[in-house]
Copies of this chain bind each other. A is one copy, B any other.
Amino acid sequence: MEYIILDKRLDYDGSQISSLWAYNLADVQADSIIAFRGGCDVKAEHMIDLEDKKQGDLIFSTDMVHFIIEHFDSTDLKLVYARQRLFTALVAELLSGYGNAIVRRGDDLFVEGKKLTVSIASTSAVSQKIHFGINVVHDHYGSLEDIGISGSEVAGLMEKIVMLYYNEFADIEEDLRKSRPLDVI
């Protein structure tokens, strides 16, 4: 697995959830997690979650940190959803350390009752992908600012989150290689 934290600002418009985006961007030929900072304005044509699409939901924010995960080891929807929930829990664990109560409901995080994040997961015929975005500042929704994270701390947080998933994934891959099959009653 490779990880990249982009220096330059990039707006998430939904095209980044496409399979092989990492290869196209940076010639990545591995499973990967890529973080970047930028606005969020998802075009209807790129909406993966039909609920958003039906409701004409605006997925809009002027400043977010984004995480794009791609795995090529299977195209099992159940696996990518379990990984998405696990990623969400990792972020919750980290943010909880900043003093504010962070509440996780499914793939959403809340601070002081305000929604802090957006996320989606799905598969194509060649890979599985997760997008996870966290508001840096926001007028109505929750944001890192509400948690007391701002300025240069934002970049530090991006790196911490990337490393959390990177290490968790490596740890899982190791653990499953020392387990005997189950007996059966």
A51 within 8 A of B: yes
Residues on the B chain within 8 Å of A89, using CB: 86, 89-90, 92-93
List 3 tightest A-B contacts by C-beta distance, closest first. A89-B89, A125-B181, A82-B82
Number of copies: 6
Q: Are A176 and B77 in contact, with the CB atoms below 8 A?
A: yes
Q: How far is the CA of A183 from the CA of B47 in the complex (A)?
A: 10
B181 and A126 within 8 A (CB): yes
Q: Judging by beta carbons under 8 Å apart, are A126 and B126 in contact?
A: no
Chain A interface, number of residues (Cβ within 8 angstroms)? 66
* Chain A interfacial positions (CB closer than 8 Å to B): 15, 17-21, 23-24, 28-31, 46-51, 53-54, 72-79, 81-83, 85-86, 89-90, 92-93, 96, 104, 106-107, 120-127, 129, 168, 171-185
CB distance from A70 to the nearest CB of B (A): 8
**B residues near A50, Cβ cutoff 8 Å:** 20, 23-24, 178-180, 185
